Chains A and B, each alone.
Chain A
Amino acid sequence: MVEKQVLLEVSELRKYYPISRGIFRRVAGYVKAVDGVSFSVNQGEVVGLIGESGCGKTTTGRCILRAITPTSGSILFHNGKAQDVTAMNRDELRDYRRNAQMIFQDPYSSLNPRMSVLEIVGEALYVNGVARGRALEDRVRVLMSQVGLKPEHMRRFPHAFSGGQRQRIGIARALALEPKLIVADEPTSALDVSIQAQIINLLQNLQKTLGLTYLLIAHDLSVIRHFSNRVVVLYVGQACEVSDTEELFRAPRHPYTEALLSAVPKPDPKRRGNRIVLGGEVPDPAAAPLGCKFHPRCPYSQEVCRTELPPMIEVSEDHFASCHFSETLKLRAV
Chain B
Amino acid sequence: MDQQKANVLLEAKDLKVDFILDEGTVRAVNNVSLTVKRGKTLGMIGESGCGKSVTAQSILRVVPSPPGRIVGGSILLYAMNGDASVDIASLDPKGKAIREIRGREISMIFQEPMTSFSPVHTVGNQIGEALILHRRFSSEKARQESISALARVGIPKPEQRVDEYPYQLSGGMRQRAMIAMALSCSPRLLIADEPTTALDVTIQAQILELLRKLQDEEGMAMLIITHNLGIVAEMAEDVVVMYFGYAVEYGDVNQIFEAPLHPYTRCLWDAIPSIDKKSDRELTTIKGNVPDPFSEFAGCPFFERCPEAMPERCELSPPPLVEVVAGHRVRCFLYEVKANG
Contact = CB atoms under 8 A, between A and B. Distances in A.
Interface of A: 52-53, 162-165, 192-198, 200-201, 204, 219, 221-223, 225-227, 245-246, 249, 259-273, 275, 277-279, 281-282, 297, 334
A271 B230 CA distance: 10
Contact of B233 (A219, A226, A268): A268
A197 B284 contact: yes
A222 B272 contact: yes
Contacts of A194: 47, 267-268, 271, 285-286, 290
Contacts of A226: 273-274, 278-279, 283
B249 to A, nearest CB: 15
8 A-B pairs with least C-beta separation = A265-B230, A226-B273, A194-B286, A52-B200, A197-B283, A222-B275, A192-B47, A267-B229
Interface in B221-262: 227-235, 253-254, 257
Contacts of A197: 271-273, 283-286
Contact of B202 (A163, A192, A260): A260
What is the interface of chain A mostly: helix, strand, loop, or mixed?
A: helix
B233 A269 contact: yes
Given A265-B231, A268-B233, A272-B234, A193 B208 contact: no
A222 B273 contact: yes
Contacts of A225: 273-275, 277-278
A257 B229 CA distance: 22
13 contacts: A162-B289, A192-B227, A194-B290, A200-B283, A201-B285, A225-B275, A226-B278, A246-B278, A260-B202, A264-B275, A266-B233, A269-B257, A281-B170
B200 A282 contact: yes
Contacts of B125: none
Contacts of B274: 222, 225-226
Contacts of B272: 193, 197, 222, 267
B283 A266 contact: no
Contact of A201 (B201, B203, B209, B282): B282
A197 B267 CA distance: 11
Nearest to A195: B289
Given A264-B230, A266-B234, A52 B202 contact: yes
Contacts of B230: 264-267
Contacts of A259: 202
B285 A52 contact: no
A219 B279 CA distance: 19
Given A265-B208, A266-B230, A198 B200 contact: no
B53 to A, nearest CB: 15
B206 interface: yes
Nearest to A270: B254
B283 A277 contact: no
A260 B275 CA distance: 12
B257 A263 contact: no
B65 interface: no
B233 A267 contact: yes
A272 B275 contact: no
Contacts of A277: 202, 205-206, 209
B203 A281 contact: yes
Nearest to A163: B48
Given A193-B47, A225-B275, A263 B268 contact: no
A195 B288 CA distance: 9
Which residue, of A165, A192, A194, A334, has the highest number of chain B Cβ atoms within 10 A?
Answer: A194
A222 B229 CA distance: 12
A227 B282 CA distance: 10
Given A163-B48, A249-B275, A267-B272, 13 more contacts: A52-B200, A192-B48, A194-B286, A197-B272, A223-B273, A225-B277, A226-B273, A260-B201, A265-B234, A266-B233, A267-B257, A281-B173, A281-B203
B276 interface: yes
A266 B275 contact: yes
A264 B228 CA distance: 10
Contacts of B7: none
Contacts of B103: none
Contacts of B282: 201, 204
Contacts of A52: 200-202
A198 B285 contact: yes
B278 A245 contact: yes
Nearest to B232: A267
Nearest to A204: B282
A265 B273 contact: no
Nearest to B226: A265
A281 B285 CA distance: 36
B332 to A, nearest CB: 17
A334 B285 contact: no
A246 B290 CA distance: 34
Interface in B188-212: 200-206, 208-209
B45 to A, nearest CB: 10
